[in-house]
Amino acid sequence: MAMTWNEAVKAALMRYSRHNKTAVINRQSFLHQELKNIINDTSSLGRTPSQTTSRVLQELRDEGYLFFSNISGEYILNQVAINASSESLPDDFLDNAIDKGLLLLDDVSTSTDSQTKLIRKGMGALRRRTLINYQNCCALCEIDDERLLVTSHIARWSDNPAARGLLTNTICFCTLHDKLFENGYFALSENTNVIWKFAPLSHPITIWKTHCTSIFKLPQFKRPEPKYLTEHRIRVNL
């Protein structure tokens, strides 16, 4: 039974991705490699199969199956994870991968120099999206100077590699709240209520908590994932 054009193009996209070991789809290369297969799969007798394929690619972009880069003029699949160290990607591809929860970040210490540059570019994109998610302000105070803001991982980089590139595992904190969070002076409940470790009234941390910490400000798009908040609370015994 013949496939529909939508089915055939989707199947061709996945073949192309596996064969070329990339999620990036260059239209001309894709047509050169897969058009005959698409024609066979659809039993098409039309005169302009390349135009029909291009139209279906646009439809798949509109439905979110693909993302189109206005920088490179290429598509990228939204169906597979994107490893930042595997190839150089334009900023809008990286931003899309982060928003879709598809960005993977390897450990810099085990990577080559060229891979390290790509990983750091991915980390830069994650910082950019995290700051946008929190409207360029610390989630617990009014500091909004980007030089003093940190992309704070909830589940630590070394503890949960699969969550390194996820917006649901990052919070925008100022440098001090980041250090307090990392070292277990406070944690967040599943509802993002702040849970403080006990300290005497005269302790500097108590003074900071009273005068320099507000209610957690919810992000615009991606909230912290409860399972990562739980992982952090368990780690710091709160």
- Residue ranges and CATH numbers for the domains of the chain are 5-79 (1.10.10.10), 136-236 (no CATH)
What is the predicted pLDDT for the residue at 218?
94
With CA atoms as reference, report the closest residue to 193 among 138, 140, 133, 131. 140
What is the predicted pLDDT for the residue at 27?
94
For 156-204, where are the E strands, in sequence order? 170-174, 186-188, 194-196
What is the predicted pLDDT for the residue at 209?
72
Per residue of the chain (238 residues), give pLDDT as tens.
788 999 999 999 999 999 999 999 999 999 999 999 999 999 877 789 999 999 999 999 999 999 999 999 999 999 889 998 888 899 999 999 999 999 999 877 666 788 889 989 999 999 999 999 999 999 999 999 999 999 999 999 989 999 999 999 999 999 999 999 999 999 999 999 999 887 766 667 776 677 667 789 999 999 999 999 999 999 999 9
Exposed e or buried b for every residue in 156-178, given b needs 16+ CB within 10 A?
beeebeebbbbbbbbbbbbebbb
* DSSP secondary structure letters along 7-27: HHHHHHHHHHHHHHT-SEE-H
Amino acid letter, 1: M
Give the integer Cα–Cα distance in Å for 114 and 134: 31
What is the predicted pLDDT for the residue at 213?
76
With CA atoms as reference, report the closest residue to 28 among 62, 73, 70, 79. 73
